[in-house]
Amino acid sequence: MKILGSEITPYKTYLNRRKFIKGSLASAMLATVTSSAFANHDSDLSIYTKNLNENDKLNSYEEITTYNNFYEFGTHKKHPHLNSGNFKPRPWTIKIGGLVKKPQTFDLEKILSNVTIEDRVYRLRCVEAWSMVIPWQGFQLSELIKMAEPLSSAKYVQFVTVFRPEEMPGQQKRTIIWPYREGLRMDEAMNPLTILATGLYGHEMPNQNGAPIRLVVPWKYGFKSIKSIVEIRFLDTQPETSWETLAPWEYGFYANVNPNVNHPRWSQGTERRIGEFKRRETLMFNGYEEEVAHLYKDLDLTKFY
């Protein structure tokens, strides 16, 4: 299965390109006039499509940015797109704490200047049984973990979303316990598939998709891929996560995409790919079995769902 983006873009080029594209939306992707400055990203979709499996097709920028679950901006799918205009993703810092050599706060720009931004085209499977194919830009979480220098006793990583009720209207209501929290086992976090994404379709990460930096774990249900991260903590025990706290009988810590373990309220055997009419079969680990199945060989996935 082809998934890893082969196109590696140095951060500086990426930044310049980003400036150039700034403000342009989906229309830019349809533009027939190509500019070499950003030919790689918006006009020439082959950069992404060559990383695609033959059964998959990219979802459009519009689909990816107007149909979101990001309860910080409201519980309806259209709310993040409509209500995220006042959110200010810059400047941004990430606090690193817990079991690390030295707790510290990183400036996002500083993190980005130390990593390589690359294209990753991933399937995203929501626990609600819909899915998309998204061209992300980002870097491996493992790179940041190396910068953070966790102690050998660290077995888990916890992530926390920003809490800014004045900019995120959904947080003014206690639909879930804010701030949103997620977590991974250390080996999951170090897996090369796990990335921190800072952009999509060559654009800076839109607010509604988790600006300025979010997690993407493509073999797990979408809610694991926590958005707008401000804190990362290293722990020796399994951290509490938001959905598991809210409804442990429905959402587990692992939340691996698994067509054989149904959600109590609906089947996980099939999914609707956004843009397609007929449902399609859901793949084990969202089709990334080869890359991640070994992480769970000793785990009863019906118990640890």
Partner 1 sequence: MFSTKNFNRSKPVLFILILFPSLLWAFQFVTGNLGVNPIEKLMDELGLMALRLIIITLMITTLSNIKSIKSIVVLRRMIGLFAFYYVCLHFSTYIILDHFLDMQFIIQDIIKRPFITFGFISFLFLIPLASTSTNNMIKRLGFKLWKKIHYLIYPVAILASLHFYVLVRADKTEPVIYMGIIILLLLHRIFKRLTRPQLAQ
Give residues with Cβ within 8 angstroms of 189, minimum separation 6: 141, 142, 145, 157
Q: Which is nearer to partner 1, 24 or 69 (CB)?
A: 69
Among residues 274, 284, 295, 301, which is the contact residue for partner 1, using CB under 8 A? 274
Which range, of 50-58, 82-90, 274-282, 294-302, touches partner 1 by CB under 8 A? 274-282
120-149 footprint of partner 1 as x/- string (CB under 8 A)? --------x-x-------------------
Site membership for partner 1, residue 267 (CB under 8 A): yes
H-helix or E-strand spanning residue 104: strand 104-107
Residue 233's alpha-carbon distances to 156, 194, 236, 237, 283, in angstroms, are 8, 17, 10, 11, 31
Q: Which of residues 219-248 bind partner 1 (CB under 8 A)?
A: 246
Asked if 77 touches partner 1 (CB under 8 A), the answer is yes
Per-residue string for binding with partner 1, 48-67, x by CB under 8 A?
A: --------------xx--xx
Distance CA 196, CA 140 (A): 6
Element (H, E) at 90: none
CA distances (Å), 131 to each of 107, 124, 148, in order? 33, 5, 33
Could you tell me which residues come within 8 angstroms of residue 203 by beta carbon, excluding any fewer than 6 positions away? Answer: 18, 21, 24, 61
Buried b (16+ CB within 10 A) or exposed e, 67-97: bbbbbbbbeeeebbbebbeebebeebebebb
Total number of residues binding partner 1 (CB under 8 A)? 24
- For partner 1, the closer of residues 81 and 203 by Cβ is 81
The closest of 60, 18, 64, 59 to 38, measured between CA atoms, is: 18
Does 302 sit near partner 1 (CB under 8 A)? Answer: no
Among 278, 298, 302, 303, binds partner 1 (CB under 8 A): 278
Q: Report the residue from 22, 102, 265, 297 that binds partner 1 according to the rule CB under 8 A.
A: 265
Closest separation in Å from C-beta 265 to partner 1: 6
Binding site for partner 1 (CB under 8 A): 62-63, 66-67, 71, 75, 77-78, 128, 130, 173, 175-176, 246, 264-267, 272, 274-275, 277-279
